[in-house]
Structure 1
Amino acid sequence: MKEELQLLEKEAIEKIEQATDMKELQSIKVAYLGKKGSLTSVLRGMGKLSKEERPVIGELANKVRETITNAIEQKNEGLEQAVLEEKLQKEAIDVTLPGRPVPTGGPHLLTKIVEEIEDLFIGMGFEVREGPEVETDYFNFEALNLPKDHPARDMQDTFYITNELLLRTHTSPVQARTMKAYDDSKSVKMICPGKVYRRDTDDATHSHQFTQIEGLFVDKDVKMSDLKGILDTFAKKLFGEDRQIRLRPSFFPFTEPSVEMDISCKVCNGDGCSVCKGSGWIEILGAGMVHPNVLSMAGYDPKVYSGFAFGMGPERIAMLKYGIKDIRQFYTNDVRFLKQFHNA
């Protein structure tokens, strides 16, 4: 049996060395070391040996098993290394090539404009306030000097949900809510950006949904000159120090007096061109002194307190600042359009 074990070991080692892949190596392992393998078959004959021979043959059989096992492990490592080297050779990467750029996104142009305007007014002491987009008729209209059946309501074609609930037509309700929440000893200095909704026909200059930023300052001795100074600073910071402004008389139910603000055309510098329709000026926002009725309904004494309010559309400001012709481009998610302004 000793010679048989030695011959089995020699034969197994030769086959292991000749194996060309891991599948063949596994077959050799099963053939020699498996439950029905050659080594197991030889050991079944140990019952016929004498007591003196059994320990010797048992020890030899263990050494043979260990030798074959070690040979299989070494061969397996060699085959795995060969497979890895072949794979690396086939999948070689030229690390000297420049990397492919990964496109990155950026904030939407409207988001950038809104944040720019917010930062500008925060720097002048205003706080940013928000309110609900589904608003009550009271805060959207009545608290702003627009009682039911007031003809000025026709200026804002409204999406009504019920007789008393609607999609807000401007962000002015946030101003009314803020004044209501304060007592009449506290001044209010705020802006309120947000989405608003009107039943406008969608075309190049109108949309049923758009963005507004409105501002309010209420305190003792607030004057029209304060409003003009704030708006002049705003125009110069946003459009350039050489921009001029002018205020034209207008009408808004919640301000008295009311004005429209124009800025000098940056294309022609006020000389007149197709952009400003030959006037040299471009309308940009509406403003005025807070109507005494609005102050009274909010709990402020109009004989003691005064204030100004203004409202602007970030879409219009972006269109003027970047020469965009169609308001619908802000909402079509056309990446070709949006990526132009990532570094604007």
Structure 2
Amino acid sequence: MPEKIQDAQKMFHNEVGKIKTRQEAEQLSVKYIGRTGIVSELMKVIPKLPVDKRASYGKQVNALKDEMCRTLTDLINSLSLDKKPANKKEFFDVTLPGKPADAGKNTLSPKLSMISRTFLPDWGLRSLTDLKLSWSIITLMH
């Protein structure tokens, strides 16, 4: 493999190791595979080569380009799946029906039972009705 192709491959792999975000991966893609990228510059050399070396050089450049495309595609996909943008909230569809409340389940009854078991005997009351009556009388007096 000619030196220029090997150098481009080494530079590419060094830069891929430093990529942290999807935007950086896309910029690297433009730098190497884009219209004015490094692979494009390597392709421009082909007409200047001797006829017998053009085919092998072109195959090597195409193999390098294919490798770069696969690597960058995998990298971009993995970066897209790994992290969701922190500034974007999850989509919430306001047209969906809400979750039903505990239908038929009285959430106050267990609490009232606990109150009546705990406090009523100490206060000399027999039921919550006695408590309600006592509370009404106390509020009227004030």
Bucket of the pairwise TM-score, normalised by the shorter protein: 0.5 to 0.7
Distance in 1 between residues matched to 2:47 and 2:99, nearest whole Å = 71
Query: If you compute each CA radius of gyration, which structure gives the higher value, 1 or 2?
Result: 1
Distance in 2 between residues matched to 1:14 and 1:82, nearest whole Å = 22
Match of 1:101 in 2: 100
Task: Map Cα deviations across residues 114-170 of structure 1 (whole Å, 9 max, x no partner).
Answer: xxxxxxxxxxxxxxxxxxxxxxxxxxxxxxxxxxxxxxxxxxxxxxxxxxxxxxxxx
Question: Are the equivalent residues in 2 in contact too, given 1:6–1:64 (CA < 8 A)?
Answer: no
Match of 2:8 in 1: 8
Question: Are the equivalent residues in 2 in contact too, given 1:19–1:25 (CA < 8 A)?
Answer: yes
Question: Are the equivalent residues in 2 in contact too, given 1:17–1:75 (CA < 8 A)?
Answer: no
AA in 2 matched with 1:75? L
AA in 2 matched with 1:101? P
Distance in 2 between residues matched to 1:44 and 1:25, nearest whole Å = 24
Question: Are the equivalent residues in 2 in contact too, given 1:33–1:65 (CA < 8 A)?
Answer: yes
Distance in 2 between residues matched to 1:21 and 1:10, nearest whole Å = 21
Distance in 2 between residues matched to 1:34 and 1:68, nearest whole Å = 11
Give the drift of 1:50. 0.6
Distance in 2 between residues matched to 1:17 and 1:73, nearest whole Å = 14
Q: How many pairs are equivalent?
A: 94
AA in 1 matched with 2:60? L
Give the drift of 1:12. 1.1
Match of 1:22 in 2: 22
AA in 1 matched with 2:52? E
Give the drift of 1:100. 4.4
Q: Which has the higher strand share?
A: 1
Give the drift of 1:46. 1.4
AA in 1 matched with 2:9? E
Aligned residue for 2:17, secondary structure, equals helix
> What is the aligned-residue RMSD (CA, Å)?
2.8
Question: Are the equivalent residues in 1 in contact too, given 2:42–2:61 (CA < 8 A)?
Answer: no
Match of 1:44 in 2: 44
Higher RCO structure, 1 or 2 (CA under 8 Å, sep 6+):
2
Distance in 2 between residues matched to 1:13 and 1:76, nearest whole Å = 15
Match of 1:70 in 2: 70
After TM superposition, the structure 1 = structure 2 runs for residues 9-158 of structure 1, keeping only pairs within 5 Å, are: 9-84=9-84, 100-101=99-100
Give the drift of 1:38. 0.9
Question: Are the equivalent residues in 1 in contact too, given 2:26–2:76 (CA < 8 A)?
Answer: no
Identity %: 21
Distance in 2 between residues matched to 1:17 and 1:71, nearest whole Å = 11
After TM superposition, the structure 1 = structure 2 runs for residues 233-272 of structure 1, keeping only pairs within 5 Å, are: none
Give the drift of 1:31. 0.6
Moved beyond 6 Å, runs of 4+: none
Distance in 1 between residues matched to 2:51 and 2:9, nearest whole Å = 24
Q: Which has the higher helix share?
A: 2
AA in 1 matched with 2:48? K
